[in-house]
Amino acid sequence: MPLDFYGVDPETGDEGSPMVWVNPEAKKILLQGETAGPADTTEINETEWVPGHRVGIPGHEKVIEIPFRMVPILREACDAAERAGLSDAAQGRSEDGSPSGNA
């Protein structure tokens, strides 16, 4: 199944711009963006965001920057994933939106 394209940074030029896709078959949202800058990366690498969770960015992962102006595009992609029943996280939440323990 092909990717569903949701949008590009509205202030982009003609190359290298943040974009958003949904892969319904793999149940994934794909983001293209610039690699996060050194100050953000350092803070992420040095902070325990989740108690007991390993600190740092694993070598196989990247942190990317997505500008706030793309929130409507991200929201549209997330909403489409939920409507299609693709959001495992949404299925694992209680009625108040908190994790059910199964997610």
pLDDT tens column, 41-85: 999 999 999 999 999 999 999 999 999 999 999 999 999 988 888
| pTM for this model (two decimals) | 0.74
What region does 7 belong to: left with phi over 0, alpha with psi -120 to 50, or beta? left
Q: Percent of the chain scored above 90 by pLDDT?
A: 63
Output the CA–CA distances (angstroms, integers) from residue 82 to 6, 24, 32, 91, 101, in the order listed. 14, 10, 21, 9, 19
Predicted confidence (pLDDT) at residue 33 exceeds the cutoff of 80? yes
